[in-house]
Chain A
């Protein structure tokens, strides 16, 4: 009788542990997917902003045609690239960020461009998008870290192997971004 009760209690406890481990894993995976979609939204937003930028700055002769062409090329590479290769996408995105930075750097030489309301607005939009890409990448990596920890630690590792949860890969952070983590085009 008593042995039966103890056995029942143990079984109930095990079931509870199992369920909560499973739910924790699901939550972790959802966080990872969610934070990737944050990045994706920002990449799309930037792709939408780039034609406006090109349109605004192309009248200024100092912009080398090659830089603008490079931006356009990288943009279409992002749009047409394989959507599920996150590392590749981010590598292209980083190149695009750098090219945009050089466009902004050239604009320093044009007081009337810098005073242009549309340009200032565009600049804030692009700065915002660049920062959001950086921040959502940070969020992605910290979500991956906690998800991977759940997959590898006891007892959720057992549940993870039963349900085939796989550890996720971190997004590589470019070297210069490690030193100064956020892009700040202004001031």
Chain B
């Protein structure tokens, strides 16, 4: 079961990356056509962009995600003995290397894991979670995070997050071109301007129309709520103590929203840090409802 999940996650990561490359090439071609009258130029530009961005992301995702969420790394166990020891315990039973440990200064209790693979993983906990949870509860939470690490959930989620950020960035970039670059280049030819604007608008809207659902699908794939149930189950497998995780989840979900969390990273956290009002259908929730998680844990 575990190996199925790992294989599925690795496969999905590749799909997401292929989807991203195709998307970037399409956008590059569109931008190239509109602004430089050349598909090829745009394609090359897009390839370079995707390559550089991909390299930075894969090499540095942990640091990027941690700085987005204002986490600071602890490197000595004296800095947070209890957290450090619990992470050590969980890494021991999960048979994964000790991940890097980060603390986010935020009174709201929450935690997440990120990284490219179990050898380059990191876990983060808020200062609030360290204060409010007892040892057993914190073990449950870290067991959940270590399961994400072991299952390669962290790679898929982190890459999906970075790609979603890149797409947003590109759409913004295209918008800037539209205002500053696109208009001025053709300004010598006033008759044509309206037509170009129309084309630009058309292309932009097409791009947005295409981007929207793709981004949503990617989010869906990465955020699949099933992953959270699996991680809850994995946590119990490691700690053999469902009660710890149950009371941790209850404490976390009844607390105030986080201030330091980055909204686009919300899906990484063990429980939604934004505390959004639940939609009726649960279609766009990043996390399964608490009652459902507790119910499943109680059955174990």
Interface residues of A (CB under 8 A from B): 38, 121, 124-125, 127-128, 131-132, 135-136, 138-139, 180-182, 184, 186-187
Contact = CB atoms under 8 A, between A and B. Distances in A.
A187 B88 contact: no
B228 interface: no
B89 A132 contact: yes
Contact of A139 (B88, B92, B139, B241): B92
B85 A124 contact: yes
B85 A182 contact: no
B135 interface: yes
Given A184-B134, A184-B136, A135 B241 contact: no
Interface in B190-230: none
Interface string B63-92: 000000000000000000110010011001
Contacts, number: 44
B275 interface: no
Nearest to A184: B135
A132 B134 CA distance: 17
B56 interface: no
B259 interface: no
Interface of B is mostly: helix
A13 B92 CA distance: 36
A181 B89 CA distance: 14
A139 B95 contact: yes
Nearest to B136: A184
Contacts of A128: 81, 85, 88-89
B110 interface: no
A136 B92 contact: yes
A132 B135 CA distance: 13
Interface residues on B, range: 10 to 19
Contact of B139 (A38, A125, A136, A182): A182
B81 A138 contact: no
Nearest to A42: B92
B239 interface: yes
Nearest to A138: B93
A128 B135 CA distance: 10
Contacts of A38: 92
Interface string B94-134: 01000000000000000000000000000000000000001
Interface string B132-153: 0011100100000000000000
A182 B139 CA distance: 10
Nearest to A121: B81
Which of B82, B85, B88, B135 has the largest count of A CB atoms less than 10 A from its CB?
B135
A186 B134 contact: yes
A135 B87 CA distance: 12
Given A138-B93, A139-B92, A186-B134, A124 B239 contact: no
Given A124-B85, A138-B93, A139-B93, A182 B134 contact: no
A24 to B, nearest CB: 14
Nearest to A129: B85
Contacts of A135: 89, 92-93
Contacts of A138: 93, 240
Contacts of B89: 128, 131-132, 135
